[in-house]
Amino acid sequence: MSKPTDRPRRPHFSSGPCAKRPGWTPSVLAEAPVGRSHRSKPGKAKLAEAIERTRAILNVPADHRIGIVPASDTGAYEMAMWSLLGARPVEMLAWESFGQGWVTDAQKQLKLDNCQIKTADYGEIVDLAGVNAAEHDVCFTWNGTTSGVKVPDGDWIPANRDGLTLVDATSAAFAMDLPWDKIDVATFSWQKVMGGEAAHGVLILSPRAVQRLESYTPPWPLPKIFRLTKGGKLNEGIFEGATINTPSMLCVEDYLDALKWGEQVGGLNGLIKRSERNLAVLEDWVAKRDWIDFLAADKAIRSNTSVCLKIVDDWFAGLDAEARAQVPKKIDALLQGEGVAYDINGYRDAPPGLRIWCGATVDTDDVAALTGWIDWAYETVKADF
């Protein structure tokens, strides 16, 4: 098979940090207040602007707090777990690596007594109808970045509930319509769907989460960067731009640029449509191939951002486990060498396969161009075995 002639203009298909928005250049950072305190008037104004533009695009209710916190989505989610869990029974739901990480935190670090663990294999999801979200706290990833599985909706979560829902939304925010009446805590990193720079997390709290924070003190010590209350009351400054630790104002400026671009392409609806168009290209391509399929077979739970693929032909099935693991790595290396796709090997803990980021900052024409190169790389690797 000969090499395709059509090449992606931007070969950035990594699932995090993800592609910058179309047309991005370092010049967009020119207005960042570098060399200034983040607590200076210009610094606080930039942080407050980032919070309010986030609220506007995501349609976050006015009574929900939005804070910028350290350590990316991981820091934001662990801050929520350490601060809120332990007051009620907890159900931990996991169907991929990051969800399993939260299970480890609950079991081995927090050592929660009344904790149920519900898991599913890669490409599948737990029985959401069997989750007691009315009475229990529930922790889960809305979109499994390493498995390509998303929660289909929030219908299984009662609007009138006693427990809290803690949602890792890092690959879902800005690409899926999150039902805020069903979510008490949402966390994400702007390095995902908005293509921002790493190391900063966003934490969104509902009034019910705030009430828990102000009425419950966990029995374990809290590091400074996890402390959301002061004197038994919510530390409101965190949600007004007074961050717990020093943020990079270059990264904040970059996030502001991404948010402004998001507004220009139609806000949340426009961002979702861009992502869904990218997934549609891959769905059409997969439907015409007999050697590759989606890890998430059920379209209702198939991610439109972190799209995970598996190789399904008889040749691949006949290889031993070590050889099967090498095939997607070799495909990835070939495509990187050609400069047409970077970082599309599947996640290290997932079944061998490919993972293609289809979030809003990726152009649909580039996804279409990529498919022909994957065909070429697969046939090339197969011929070399």
Per-position b or e across 207-224, b if 16+ CB within 10 A of its CB = eebbebbeeeebeeeeee
Q: Are 214 and 207 in contact (CB under 8 A)?
A: no
State the pLDDT at residue 70. 96
Of 346, 362, 342, the C-alpha closest to 354 is 346
pLDDT classification of 232: cutoffs 50, 70, 90: very high
pLDDT bucket at 71, cuts 50 / 70 / 90: very high
What mean pLDDT do residues 55-78 have?
Answer: 98
pLDDT tier for residue 238 given thresholds of 50, 70 and 90 = very high
The pTM is what?
0.98
Domain ranges of the chain: 26-262, 267-384
pLDDT digits (tens, 9 = 90+) for 202-226: 999 999 999 999 999 999 999 999 9
What is the gyration radius of the CA atoms in the chain, in angstroms?
A: 21
> Could you give the CA distance from residue 208 to residue 204 in angstroms, rounded to a whole number?
12
Predicted pLDDT of residue 37: 95
CATH number assigned to the domain covering 26-262: 3.40.640.10
Q: How far is CA 146 from CA 83, 139, 349, in A?
A: 26, 17, 8
Q: What integer is the mean pLDDT of 250-267?
A: 98
Q: Residue 188 phi/psi, 5° resolution?
A: -160, 170
Q: Quote the pLDDT of residue 27.
A: 98
Q: Which two tokens stand for residue 347?
A: 């996640």
The single-letter code of the amino acid at 234 is: L
Which of 351, 348, 341, 323 has the alpha carbon at shortest distance from 377?
A: 341
User: Which residues contact residue 230 at a Cβ distance below 8 angstroms, ignoring those fewer than 6 apart?
Assistant: none
pLDDT (tens digit per residue) in 135-146? 999 999 999 999
Q: 267-384: which CATH topology?
A: Aspartate Aminotransferase, domain 1 (3.90.1150)
Q: Kindly state the average pLDDT of the residues 165-183.
A: 98
pLDDT digits (tens, 9 = 90+) for 29-60: 999 999 999 999 999 999 999 999 999 999 99
Residue 30: the pLDDT is: 98
pLDDT tens digit sequence for 335-356? 999 999 999 999 998 999 999 9
